[in-house]
A and B are shown apart, each in its own frame.
Chain A
Amino acid sequence: MVRYVANKFFYMLVSLFILISATFFLMKAIPGDPFMSEKKVPPEIQARLMEQYGLDKPVYVQYFKYLGDIATGDFGISMKHQNQEVTDIILQTFSASLKLGLIAIVISVIIGILLGMLAALYHRKLIDNVAMILAVLGIAVPSFVLASLIQFIFGEKLGWFHVMGFDGPLDYVLPVAALSAQPIAFIARLTRSSMLEVLHADYIKTAKAKGLNWMAIMFRHVIRNGILPVVTYIGPMTANIITGSVVIEQIFGIGGIGKVFVECITNRDYTMIMGVTIFYGVLLMLARFITDIVYVLVDPRIKLTGGKEG
């Protein structure tokens, strides 16, 4: 197990290094600089700015200096947002994305599992049909379409919620709804099919035959086994929701990290681009890493050593 984890961790570091290097050189290859604007800054001032930020040096020198800086944990200051640390901006904006994301995840898991269970228990009945139609719709309608639709109906027309902003608890309702519709649908379908399978398994029949009461069967056997596939889905889903909220943040005017990411590229805010890329990279790799480990813990059939990797 330790070897497995160490191995995965090593590959994670290698991928991170490749990510950093590739992003750095690609970013430098895009025309433009952080100080460009329609009205050109006089060449003397432009030259002074380039010098102050070390952008007058050859790209490889900048590259090694950057590697040195991040090795000591210094991500620099934003080139567009003067005198603000890249780490401060990332932490502040990520906290908004994280709050939104976590609530969406919790809601998706709870509602998704409930819906899936109901559908499985009332298999081929009305509840099942309605739940599954909702699920199909949830998967089929892209989140940005749903977001605009509920924004229009509940924000603009009915005025129940703010169209944008992220101040009070009510402001969470619409973005969370838009963000969790798809995972709810997915989890519901997943839960339903795996529960159906479990409900027909021999050991449930045995339990019934033993005369165990219904509640005990449900909680001790059906649910525990039925939601296993959901657990493995939570890892990738977390990463998806947290990185995929870019569009939702945009629509609801939420100052999350997704918005920062898009803007810093347009602005050629070099330190910010690197900072956010590394942050996202680490986040996704960690999610992947944890999922890998959880897979092993949940399902011993996945072999750790021997045979072929992959």
Chain B
Amino acid sequence: MRRKTLLTLLTMLLVVGTVLAGCGSKNAGGGSKENASAAKDQILHMNLSAEPPTFDPAQAQDSQAHTVLNMMYEGLVRLDENSKPVPGVAEKWDISSDGLKYVFHLRKDAKWSNGDPVTAKDFVFAWQRVLDPNTTPAPPYAYQLYYIKGAEEYNNKKMTDFSQVGVKATDDHTLEVTLKNPTPYFLGLTSFYTFYPVHQSVKDNPKWAADPKTMISNGPFTLTTWTTGQKIEVSKNANYWDNKDIKLNKITMSLSNSGATELSSYRSGQLDYAGMPNGEIPTDQMPAVKKQLQNELNLKPIGSVYYYQFNVTAKPFDNAKIRKAFAMAISRQEIVDKVTQSEEKPAFGFVPPGIAGEKEEFRTEHKDDYFTENMDEAKKLLQEGMKEEGYTTLPPVTLIYNSSEKHKKIALAVADMWKKNLGVTVQTENQEWGVFLKNRRSLNYQIARAGWSPDYNDPMTFFDLWTSKSGNNDIGFKNKEYDALVSDALASSDNAKRMDDFVKAEKLLIQDQQVLLPIYYYTNVALIKPNLKGVIIDYAGGVDFTRAYFE
């Protein structure tokens, strides 16, 4: 009996201790611990939530590799702090008046990390490697190069002669590129990793990209350590042409997939940067983070959109009025304030802020006022829609989302709003990523969670998604008028006309048909140590550490 009492006491002590420890953190206030040695060492510590599968620019296709490749390589151009293309390996360029021909003049002092000069031939070699149908494994992002004349045909074996593809090295320092269509965003696209040059020595060594010893790159940093599952380290490249502007000596990346660990590690001073795009701060920690680390919290709107999509071939969402009713009957501000808590902007359109328009951003030039939240109107539309379809009660509705704490919370909140505002009970179902993707692709759902981030800085990346022949159109939406608008914009070099097409397309998609239910435009949520400066988050939420420094 005495023992039991002692045990209870001890357990109580443990519980009280934990609670007290929790209280202690509140009093601490004023921010996280500083990384004292940072300023003189200029070593940046960050975390990647997943190990990049490869550092071969041709094979990469994920945001982790994106961040690291951006440190190790440089394309023809790079993006500055306003996401505008500025000279990279190319010193200057000429664009023909019809927008089809680009001549890049490469700088003569651009070098590989082993001292070899970077030439126009390296670009031709790299791009041919991406497009070659015999490259193993087949580069998944080869289609990013399809803007180049003949590239798609060559990649799909409809043409075997690479000299017919619109890319030529006229001499060591001049690269000539001919495009299929005038593509106003092509210049910015050459900063993307699929367009990076690759050292020609790699053709004899298929494992070159997995080993720091054989890795030759042309960017501000070179890969110096890669311990599988443990650590990746890049160090300053002495041969980089602009190395006087590079102040960091080293960037060390740990590999933990737990957001809680990453945050805890940041608080302890072990990390200098935490959060997106390479990690995620758990939403349940947001209130505490906002309170304690407000000076280090960096919330930046980025060009991605979080939305639900309707399967327009499935009952009851084959009816536009019912779709509209569902879209009107939720309170986006409430979701943003209470669930995601990162100051995201409620979305009523599909193109997020930050995406370039005619002169300024598309979203500032064209407001997303395609519909409003209106519970009475929603109920009315639902009744009308049900009458049109001859329903007395609505068929059962299920909302599917891929497993994640955040998606789950949002889904439950939305379902609750539908219940309250429309009187409709919606089941929510959480599915494993692969299963979820398969169900969405095969139109085996009614409403599904989705998100889209841009491949390049132009509204086209949001609109070519929903054309009838798009491989990513997984809502069953087929509309001739919409297709015509997108192909018109694709072929046109008149930017004002293109934007006009996009506005019409967006109106059709959201206002007229409401095949999508936009929820919010993302913000990039990151914690940055106060003495770390010069970290650039671009329009798409990509992060550039190359010009960062500690003061």
Residues of A that sit less than 8 Å from B by CB: 30-33, 35-45, 48-49, 52-53, 80-84, 88-89, 92-93, 96, 129, 133, 136-137, 148-149, 151-153, 155-157, 159, 162-167, 250-256, 259-260, 263, 266, 268
Contact = CB atoms under 8 A, between A and B. Distances in A.
User: Which of A44, A48, A129, A133 counts the most chain B CB atoms within 10 A?
Assistant: A48
Given A32-B437, A129-B6, A48 B261 contact: no
B3 interface: yes
B33 interface: yes
B10 A82 contact: no
B206 A32 contact: no
Contacts, number: 168
Given A93-B228, A253-B254, A31 B438 contact: yes
A88 to B, nearest CB: 8
B206 A163 contact: no
A198 to B, nearest CB: 23
Contacts of B51: 81, 255, 263
Interface in B200-229: 206-207, 209-210, 227-229
A260 B229 CA distance: 8
B164 to A, nearest CB: 18
B227 A250 contact: no
23 contacts: A31-B437, A37-B140, A38-B451, A40-B472, A41-B471, A45-B138, A49-B137, A49-B138, A83-B206, A83-B209, A83-B210, A92-B228, A148-B260, A157-B21, A159-B269, A164-B264, A165-B231, A250-B256, A251-B261, A252-B256, A255-B229, A263-B50, A266-B433
Interface residues of B, number: 66
Interface stretch (B54-62, B114-122, B417-425, B477-485): B54-62
Contact of B254 (A38, A80, A92, A165): A165
Contacts of A163: 261, 264-265, 268, 270
A42 B471 contact: yes
B435 interface: yes
Contacts of A167: 231
A38 B268 CA distance: 34
Nearest to B450: A38
B155 interface: yes
B6 A255 contact: no
Contacts of B133: 48
Given A31-B434, A35-B140, A42-B143, 7 more contacts: A37-B140, A38-B451, A52-B138, A80-B53, A83-B56, A137-B10, A165-B270
User: Which of A83, A252, A263 counts the most chain B CB atoms within 10 A?
Assistant: A83
A251 B258 contact: yes
B209 A157 contact: no
A255 B433 contact: no
B3 A129 contact: yes
B107 interface: no
Contact of A81 (B54, B230, B434, B451): B54
